[in-house]
Amino acid sequence: MPPCSLASSKQTQTLIKTHGQAKTSDAEPLTHHSVSKPFIDKISVTLMLPSDVREIVSQNLEDALQTPGFFQHARYSATYKHSHLIACEGTAERVLFQFGRKGCGKSDARFEFNPHKTGSEGVFGLDYKLRFVFPNGWDDVVQIGRVSRIDIAVDVPDLTVDDFLYLPALGLSSERFRRDGHAKTLYFGKRGANQIRIYCKSDEQAAKGHPMAYSVVRVEQTLVNLKSKVCELSQLPNPLKKMVMTEHCPVRPGWETSQRWAMFQDCVHARGLTAALALLPQKRRTDYRKYLAEHQALEWWNPDEIWKHWPHAVQELL
């Protein structure tokens, strides 16, 4: 990977080559036997600009604000003087752009959007518009922008949240939401931090009036304050390797009684795995965690194989 620098690049030529291509997510629908591919469901990027670039952007922004239709209205920001949405050709997704820190703000500018929905065509359209504001358009964001938040998601077909168990790390807080007696959404970790969410994406889409042809479970990891530039994302260590998925009802271990194991499984169904483990004595809890971790050979969850597709997900941003 070439070193990061705030200079002109070949990005425009690269984007022109990819412009008009179909998104992989549309061209390759999920099937039961396919390896699920990670994608970026949300990204937030902040920029500390060199003083000369900051002045250029500030002046260009004032000119853009006088151009009808260049920006769309966005919610008021307590951190930035300007908060606008950018509509880009090639996508219905809009990009949040904020600029001009107030008081002791930590960055000069901020971008937030969903790259999975935007796709390479949308990034091409974003680059075109940003070249009226930034000296090198989107490439300036790629080269100097730091990722303050990224949501990495994996969609697994033909599953429900009740079909497996997630074994969280010790001490990781969790919440569990149910509907009609079935688990719908699982949260592990605190909101605004490195949180894991597991939920039924097909149910969410059906509630919005967009039913899917099959059940889909989404596994999503939020990472905050990466201190990595956008151009360095391909080097991100695999966060999925820490996620332990195990069988929902593994066979009883030889050292446990049938009654205790049945009670534990019933408690898992009623309270969730984290709460069920918390009710056990410390020694027994350790034994249970170890035993469950030994039953994670699930055909659909192979973090190493899934992560091999990560460079393609990042490429849509570059």
pLDDT at 20: 35
Residue 2 belongs to some domain of the structure: no
Of the three residues 78, 112, 144, the one that is the final residue of a domain is: 144
**Is residue 90 a contact partner of residue 69, using CB atoms and an 8 Å limit?**
no
On the question of pLDDT at 32 being above 70, the answer is no
On the question of pLDDT at 297 being above 90, the answer is no
Beta strands, E only, 225-258 = 244-247
Which phi and psi (to 5°) does residue 187 adopt?
-120, 135
Q: How far apart are CA 197 and CA 300, in angstroms?
A: 17
Of the three residues 144, 178, 207, the one that is the final residue of a domain is: 144
Residue 130 belongs to some domain of the structure: yes
Encode 114-150: b = buried (16+ Cβ within 10 Å), e = exposed.
bbbbbbbbbbbbbbbbbbebbbbbbbbbbbbbbbbbb
Q: What is the mean pLDDT of the chain?
A: 87
- Taking only the tens place, the pLDDT of each residue in 104-143 is 778 999 999 999 999 999 999 999 999 999 999 999 999 9
Residue 116 belongs to some domain of the structure: yes
Residue 112 belongs to some domain of the structure: yes
Of the three residues 101, 117, 144, the one that is the final residue of a domain is: 144
On the question of pLDDT at 23 being above 70, the answer is no
- Count up the domains in the chain and report the number: 2
Residue 15 belongs to some domain of the structure: no
Confidence of residue 181 (pLDDT cuts 50, 70, 90): low
Residue 299 belongs to some domain of the structure: no
On the question of pLDDT at 219 being above 90, the answer is yes
Domain range for 270 = 246-293
- Taking only the tens place, the pLDDT of each residue in 225-269 is 998 999 999 999 999 999 999 998 899 999 999 999 999 999 998
pLDDT at 214: 83
Residue 135 belongs to some domain of the structure: yes
Residue 99 belongs to some domain of the structure: yes
